[in-house]
């Protein structure tokens, strides 16, 4: 499946635009979005782009590189779920990770800073740490 990015058929005034070439050009052909989901095992694929470059597409993500702003340390942690995705509310239901999505990890909530479908990796910044349960001392004031 390929996505064809063709010119608009109508002018802003409502008039029709005639095609300025008979055949589709290679530069107008795109690819469908990656739609990176949360899973147990990571799945990647190398894609050759126009000009001979490479993109690593991440189809299923299991881990994220999370930066703790307080300690300035990165940790590789497991992704549990997608909490919120501002790009599209349906992406939250479908557990799709995009740049700007808020994910729940083992160490807390984090905001994704990379583009997983383009970079092949999930990088994030920790925004809220998980509260650790402390054992009660047995003496409660009341």
Q: State pLDDT tens for residues 44-69.
A: 999 998 889 999 999 999 999 999 99
Would you place residue 26 in the very low, low, confident or very high pLDDT band (cuts 50, 70, 90)?
confident
Mean pLDDT of 37-46: 96
Would you place residue 130 in the very low, low, confident or very high pLDDT band (cuts 50, 70, 90)?
confident
**CA 44 to centroid of chain Cα atoms:** 14
Q: Lowest mean pLDDT of 33-42, 113-122, 133-142, name the range.
A: 133-142
137 burial type by CB count under 10 A (0-12 exposed, 13-18 middle, 19+ buried)? exposed
pLDDT for residue 135:
67
1 pLDDT higher than 60: no
72 pLDDT higher than 90: yes
Would you place residue 23 in the very low, low, confident or very high pLDDT band (cuts 50, 70, 90)?
confident
């Amino acid at each position: 499946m390929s996505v064809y990015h063709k010119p608009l058929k109508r002018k802003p005034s409502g008039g029709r635009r005639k095609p300025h070439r008979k055949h589709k050009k290679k530069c107008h052909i795109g690819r469908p979005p990656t739609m990176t989901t949360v899973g147990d095992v990571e799945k990647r694929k190398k894609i050759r782009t126009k000009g001979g470059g490479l993109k690593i597409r991440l189809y299923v993500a299991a881990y994220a590189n999370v930066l703790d702003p307080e300690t300035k340390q990165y940790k590789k942690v497991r992704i549990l779920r997608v909490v919120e995705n501002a790009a599209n509310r349906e992406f939250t239901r479908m557990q799709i990770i995009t740049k700007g999505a808020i994910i729940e990890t083992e160490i807390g909530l984090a905001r994704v800073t990379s583009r997983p479908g383009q970079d092949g990796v999930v990088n994030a910044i920790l925004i809220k740490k998980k509260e650790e349960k402390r054992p009660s001392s047995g003496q409660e004031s009341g």
